[in-house]
Amino acid sequence: MDELDLLKKDWNKQQGNYPKLTFDQIYKMIWKRSHSIVKWIFYISLIELLAGTLLNIIFSGDKYWESIKENGLEEFTIVLYVISYTITFYFIYRFYRNYRKISTTDDASTLMKNILKTRKTVKYYIAYVLISSGILIVGVSVYMILHHTNKDVEDISNYSFEAMDWVKFIGASVLVLTVFLGIIWLFYRLLYGILLRRLKKNYIELKKLEL
Amino acid sequence: MEKELEHQFVTNLERDQNIVHKICRIYTNDQASHNDLFQEITIQLWKAYPKFRGDSKFSTWMYRVALNTAITLYRKKKRGIQTQDYDSVHFRIKVEEYDDDTEQRLSLMYNAVKELNDIDKALVFLYLEDKNYKEISETMGISEVNARVKMNRVKTKLKKILNP
């Protein structure tokens, strides 16, 4: 292509036409703060990974523990905690491993792949938190209804629940739950949609034609 | 030791800074963004510098980190006013030997490159810097065949932009 050759010729002639930064100007720059997306991804991911743990701690106050005792769910809860913390730490470990792999000295394709992989780990973690808390909430509700052990609802439990009431009750619970989890998911998608849109687009563009 | 490394790095970058400026020119449209990107590339180069073993030339090593920063790491800042304070005409020095027609063609060509996507810009940049397909494929992490096909498509795209 003639035009491109012409451009190349001109490109080489432009050598003297660039700003010339001094040693001191460049020296100052190396201590400035980076605005790279990797940094953002790192911070946001850490917040997300810790948020699950924090929520657990906040909700598991003395009262919570008492009610578990009353219901005779101590062992069950402890096992659940062990499992959930093991899974959380596994995710944190995977995240850290992936994060360490991100290196600007890799080729463009590997770099992009590693960044996306790091994000994917956190995405799976969020999915895990949402799904497991969904199951837990449903499980606990069902348990409470079946056993009527919650003292606060003792009076109410004298009323007989007809089939229609059950459907309404379950329907409302599922709706509230879906909306709640949906909002979290949407927020999460928005955040990353904005942060990773360009990277994803470039990665797809780069890998096009690659077999 | 650290001081020595800093000095070495800044000296190298001061010498080869043109490469970074060229990337900034291709990927940004105004002086403020140019400076932003230049700074981010400098930071990333410095962070990666301990991994630079000197088995290749500093300038060769720079291409990778600098392009990676421009394509992948750098997040364009939203600016209130979208200025284009250096367009194709402004950011070139006129070359005496060219006639008006050539100048016109060149300015159209520079503008056409600006319209390409990030990946295509990188390919054009590496082409202009006289890198062969092996080097292009290694920098971008794609096969040589793919690099060739992509380059041909870029040429077609440019033609289309110039003659819609």
DSSP result, chain B: -HHHHHHHHHHHHHHHHHHHHHHHHHH-SSHHHHHHHHHHHHHHHHHHGGG--SSS-HHHHHHHHHHHIIIII--PPP-SS----S-TTTTSPPPTT--HHHHHHHHHHHHHHHTS-HHHHHHHHHHHTT--HHHHHHHHTS-HHHHHHHHHHHHHHHHHHH--
CA nearest to A98, candidates A112, A118, A113: A118
Res. A133: pLDDT tops 90: no
Residue B67's Cβ-count burial label (10 Å; 0-12, 13-18, 19+) is buried
Q: Read off the pLDDT of each residue in B16-34 and give the average, rounded to a whole number.
A: 91
Q: How far apart are CA A45 and CA A21, in angstroms?
A: 36
Total domain count, chain B: 2
Q: What pLDDT score does B64 carry?
A: 93
Residues B65 and B104 placed together within one structural domain of the fold: no
Q: Does residue A20 belong to any structural domain of this protein?
A: no
Residue A197 lies in a domain: yes
Res. B128: pLDDT tops 90: yes
Split at pLDDT 50, 70, 90, the class of A150 is very low
The answer to whether residue B33 is domain-embedded is: yes
Average the pLDDT over A109-136 and give the result: 86
Q: Do A7 and B13 touch (CB under 8 A)?
A: no
Pick from A6, A17, A115: CB nearest B93: A17
Whether residue A179 is predicted with pLDDT greater than 60 in this model: the reply is: yes
The residue from B73, B91, B121 where one domain ends is B73
- Average predicted confidence (pLDDT) for chain A: 80
Q: What is the mean pLDDT of residues B134-152?
A: 93
Q: Is residue B89 domain-resident?
A: no
Alpha-carbon span B93 to B82, nearest angstrom: 24
Predicted local confidence at residue A172, as pLDDT: 83
More confident residue, B136 or A72: B136
Contact by Cβ (8 Å): B141, B122: no
Q: How many domains does the structure of chain A reveal? A: 1
Average pLDDT over residues A25-47: 86
- Looking at the whole model, is its pTM more than 0.90? no
Is B122 at the interface with chain A, CB within 8 A?
yes
Task: Note whether B73 contacts A13, CB cutoff 8 Å.
Answer: no
Q: Are A101 and A78 in contact (CB under 8 A)?
A: no
> Is residue A14 one of the residues assigned to a domain?
no
Please say if the pLDDT value at position A50 is more than 90: no
**B61 shares a domain with B22:** yes
Q: Is residue A107 part of a domain?
A: yes
Closest approach of B50 to chain A, Cα-based (Å)? 11
CA nearest to B137 within chain A? A107
Look at residue A29 and tell me if it is in a domain.
Answer: no
> What is the C-alpha to C-alpha distance for residues A181 and A199, in angstroms, rounded to an integer?
27
Cα A159 to Cα B88: distance, rounded to the nearest angstrom: 80
**8 Å CB contact of B106 and A32:** no
Q: Best of B17, B25, B39, B99 to disrupt the A interface by mutation (most A CBs within 10 Å)?
A: B39
- In sequence order, which residues have a C-beta less than 8 Å from that of residue A138 and are 6 or more positions away? A173, A177
Say whether both B6 and B68 belong to one domain.
yes
The answer to whether residue B6 is domain-embedded is: yes
Q: Find chain A residues with C-beta within 8 A of B13's C-beta.
A: 26
What pLDDT is stored for residue B93 in this prediction?
Answer: 64
Q: Give the span between the Cα atoms of A197 and A102, in whole angstroms.
A: 18
First-to-last C-alpha distance (Å) of chain B: 57
> Percentage of chain A surpassing pLDDT 90?
14
Average pLDDT over residues B25-51: 91
The answer to whether B98 touches B109, Cβ cutoff 8 Å, is no
Q: Are B53 and B62 in contact (CB under 8 A)?
A: no
Which residue range is the domain that position A170 belongs to? Answer: 36-207
CATH of the domain at B40: 1.10.1740.10
CATH number at residue B133: 1.10.10.10
CB contact under 8 Å between A210 and B146, yes or no, is: yes
- The Cα B69–Cα B62 span in angstroms is 11
- Is A25 part of any domain? no
Domain that holds residue B108: 100-162
Indicate the residue type of A123: K
Averaged pLDDT for residues A100-113: 92
A13 lies in a domain? no
Q: What is the pLDDT of residue B141?
A: 93
From A111, A195, A198, residue closest to B68, measured CB to CB: A111
Closest-CA residue in chain A for B107?
Answer: A7
Q: End-to-end alpha-carbon separation of chain A, Å? A: 27
Report the amino acid identity of residue B32.
A
Residue B16: inside a domain: yes
B69 and B6 share one domain: yes
- Which of 80-119 (B) contact A at CB < 8 A? 91-93, 95, 102, 105-106, 109-110, 113, 117-119
